[in-house]
Structure 1
Amino acid sequence: MKKKFVLLSLLVLLSLALYAQSASETEENFTYFNVDIIKVYQHKDAYFVLYNKNGNKMGQVALPKEWFQYGSENQSRIRPLPSKLAPYLTVIYKDGAFYKVYLNMPVDRLDPAWAILDNNIDISAKINKETLEMSF
């Protein structure tokens, strides 16, 4: 009886070790960065975001509105921001390549963090629909 119990315990431990090894091989490497948003300008083609960089510098990036549509390839989202938090942008990388972005903004579009950019302004040169390149 003891031999069966020891053998069964050994078999369970061995199977757990094999499962852990196979799970680590399929594990994906995700990293993310959060940056504070100064202002988001809505345009017909994109969200034009002004954000804080290290120190007192300001960065800018254009996020295509296609990314935020239901069923888009990278599944980016505009997420509602709790009332006491400042707006921020979450950029997610999967295995070192851009994966998706979350725009965490107040729901009220009259909030000072939101603004409207004139649709006659051509920002197509600033829009990269394939990936997101930002400096932090």
Structure 2
Amino acid sequence: MAQAAAEVEELPRTIVRRVVKDKISRVSDEAEISVKKDALLAFSEGARIFIHYLSATANDICKDSKRQTINADDVLKAIEEIEFPEFIGSLRASLDAFRRKNAVKKAGAAKTKEAKKKRKMENKPPVQNGDSLHEEVDVGEGNEDE
């Protein structure tokens, strides 16, 4: 039973392998780096523990602020608190790039939604008398009560 719980929390091996090989290849002159299965397991377990520790620290910061949702600033503060300040610069840059990318997507989605709405209104057939609940009233005619 305990083994099944550990397997659920395990990080995806293919992603761990890809990240490890990418990072090692950037600092090594060798063309192809081979990483043994037990080394990948160690990387995966280390990353999982780091994520849990960082999450717990960010959660504590969030609770101290009397909020229930962890935000990016909580994570950045947690990284400082667990003494990894050298990551802050690159993480902040990645976060800013992510936010800019999402802002562009949202702006594009809003324009697309507005354009669809406009096309729908332009393609809507004109309402003829008797086709709607409200009929046109000619205000130029006199009132019978006068």
Higher strand content, 1 or 2:
1
TM-score (normalised: structure 2):
0.24
Higher helix content, 1 or 2:
2
Higher CA-based Rg = 2
